């Protein structure tokens, strides 16, 4: 049926042209309003404008239609579980959770990276505890996302630039940005790293994008092979970037390592010229659910005025955020001093009297890395109510036994300070490395049944 094939080809071509046009349109709009980012009242005005068309679209969401005229504070706060439970009623496309899962899982198995239902892309988030989330975006939202990435991360340049992308799965999103000015090379992180280091040296990218655990392996492999890096920007994504790693990568690549805070729930924050992370508050409303009395840690509760197919409204993320001070770059948006990890990985250890103590990942991280300069990698895992395990990698030539003693002492000191009178600290020689999975250095594997 050559006629039908031709027609399909033409439709595909038309869609690609449309997507490029939308990207350009959205990009120009972001540029037009760029001054709003430096002036809070102006920024809020722009956000309110965006909220107006967002409200109109809620008419098609069975879950939100009755809230259409309500102030934002009256919308229910949802978490991942609630969001997934009400999946069918929240999205405006009438897609059921079963259908979306079936399409996404099929794509995952066949490693076809562009699962769609009609024009709607189905994305699967990598839930670590079996609670995978699913996200929907139409062609316009995809174009908008690309435009925001171009505006906030890649930046405009007339010079041709090459981007090396280390990913678990390629995506047709990057194909849509490909142009004479920007080319992408995809490095599959499920493939052995040895070949990647050589390919990277040959490709000579201007921008290198990868998650910290992959960056770490890339650095080690390049050092081993005596390859000198030649990139002008390094961007860390997907995992928590610890300050120690950030410094080490910056030293090796000779550039400041930038961060992008982005998850399936949206593109949340980017690094500014001063090196600080800023929330994209010109289209996101960020409410805070504080975790302690000092108000120095919170879960962001996000409302995204750009999302269309699947509204993200007062969605509470379980990431632990430390707010930062105003930034010298002049952007009016809230800064993030640090992303500490996920609430699921906060340790909850109990003493012999049965009292439960909360220990945030940062305390454990500082105890471990403060114990010795020769630690190159580590894991600390809570495995039961009163037992933790730890794993260490040290620099070649260092005495692992000695470092073990130092780390154990440091952890013991931390627990003593908290009056945790009995915690079993066990050294483990092995950790499970699942290719492509996110690395979590401080992990709570103990889920008490409440």
Q: Which stretch binds Zn ion (CB under 5 A): 250-258, 259-267, 270-278, 279-287?
A: 270-278
Cα separation, 103 vs 231, in Å, equals 37
Q: Does 400 engage in binding with Zn ion (CB under 5 A)?
A: no
Our CB check for Zn ion shows the closer of 271 and 303 to be 271
Q: Which of 276, 264, 269, 341 is nearest to 307 (CA)?
A: 264
Q: Which stretch binds Zn ion (CB under 5 A): 112-120, 190-198, 329-337, 397-405?
A: 329-337
Q: Does 43 engage in binding with Zn ion (CB under 5 A)?
A: no
Our CB check for Zn ion shows the closer of 291 and 327 to be 327
Q: Does 269 engage in binding with Zn ion (CB under 5 A)?
A: no
With CB under 5 A as the contact rule, the residue among 36, 137, 210, 272 that binds Zn ion is 272
Cα separation, 21 vs 211, in Å, equals 30
Q: Does 251 engage in binding with Zn ion (CB under 5 A)?
A: no
With CB under 5 A as the contact rule, the residue among 329, 343, 400, 445 that binds Zn ion is 329
Per-residue tokens: 313: 């409204």
Our CB check for Zn ion shows the closer of 209 and 327 to be 327
Q: Which stretch binds Zn ion (CB under 5 A): 20-28, 71-79, 138-146, 274-282?
A: 274-282
Q: Does 277 engage in binding with Zn ion (CB under 5 A)?
A: no
Cβ count within 10 A of residue 401: 9
Per-residue tokens: 262: 């982005």
Q: Does 336 engage in binding with Zn ion (CB under 5 A)?
A: no
Least separation in angstroms between CB 144 and Zn ion: 23
Q: Does 274 engage in binding with Zn ion (CB under 5 A)?
A: yes
Q: Does 326 engage in binding with Zn ion (CB under 5 A)?
A: no
Half-sphere exposure (CA, 13 Å, Cβ side) for 201?
14
R_g of the chain computed on alpha carbons: 23
Per-residue tokens: 56: 């109109």
Q: Does 388 engage in binding with Zn ion (CB under 5 A)?
A: no
Q: Which stretch binds Zn ion (CB under 5 A): 27-35, 151-159, 328-336, 442-450?
A: 328-336
Least separation in angstroms between CB 258 and Zn ion: 12
Q: Does 105 engage in binding with Zn ion (CB under 5 A)?
A: no
Our CB check for Zn ion shows the closer of 274 and 292 to be 274
List residues near Zn ion by CB under 5 A.
272, 274, 276, 327, 329, 331
């Amino acid at each position: 049926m050559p006629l039908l094939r031709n027609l399909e080809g033409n439709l595909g071509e038309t869609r690609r042209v449309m997507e490029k046009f939308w990207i350009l349109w959205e990009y120009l709009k972001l540029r037009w309003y760029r001054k709003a980012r430096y002036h809070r009242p102006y920024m809020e005005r722009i956000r309110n404008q965006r909220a107006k068309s967002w409200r109109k679209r809620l008419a098609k969401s069975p879950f939100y239609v009755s809230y259409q005229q309500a102030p934002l504070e009256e919308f229910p706060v949802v978490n991942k579980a609630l969001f997934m439970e009400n999946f069918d009623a929240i999205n405006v496309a009438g897609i059921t959770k079963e259908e979306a899962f079936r399409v996404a899982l099929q794509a995952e198995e066949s490693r076809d990276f562009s699962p769609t239902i009609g024009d709607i892309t189905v994305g699967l988030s990598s839930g670590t505890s079996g609670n995978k989330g699913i996200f929907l975006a139409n062609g316009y939202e995809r174009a908008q996302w690309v435009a925001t990435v171009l505006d906030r991360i890649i930046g405009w340049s007339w010079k041709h630039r090459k981007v090396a992308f280390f990913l678990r799965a390629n995506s047709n999103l990057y194909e849509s940005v490909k142009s004479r000015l920007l080319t992408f090379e995809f490095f599959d992180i499920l493939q052995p790293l040895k070949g990647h280091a050589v390919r990277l040296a040959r490709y000579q990218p201007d921008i290198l994008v990868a998650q910290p655990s992959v960056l770490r392996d890339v650095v080690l492999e390049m050092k081993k092979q005596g390859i000198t890096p030649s990139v002008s920007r390094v961007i860390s994504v997907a995992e928590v970037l610890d300050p120690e790693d950030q410094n080490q990568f910056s030293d090796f690549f000779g550039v400041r390592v930038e961060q992008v805070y982005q998850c399936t729930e949206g593109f949340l924050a980017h690094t500014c010229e001063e090196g600080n992370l800023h929330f994209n508050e010109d289209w996101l409303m960020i409410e805070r659910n504080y975790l302690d009395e000092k108000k120095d840690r919170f879960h962001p509760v996000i409302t995204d005025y750009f999302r269309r197919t699947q509204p993200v409204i007062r969605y509470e993320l379980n990431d632990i955020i430390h707010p930062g001070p105003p930034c010298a770059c002049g952007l009016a948006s809230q800064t993030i001093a640090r992303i500490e990890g996920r609430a699921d990985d906060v340790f909850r250890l109990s003493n012999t009297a049965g009292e439960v103590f909360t220990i945030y990942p940062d305390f454990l991280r500082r105890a471990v890395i403060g114990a010795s300069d020769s630690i190159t990698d580590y894991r600390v895992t809570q495995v039961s109510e009163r037992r933790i395990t730890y794993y260490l990698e040290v620099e070649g030539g260092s005495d692992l036994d000695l470092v073990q003693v130092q780390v154990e002492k440091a952890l013991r000191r931390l627990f003593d300070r908290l009056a945790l009178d009995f915690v079993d600290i066990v050294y483990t020689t092995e950790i499970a490395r699942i290719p492509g999975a996110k690395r979590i250095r401080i992990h709570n594997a103990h889920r008490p049944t409440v």
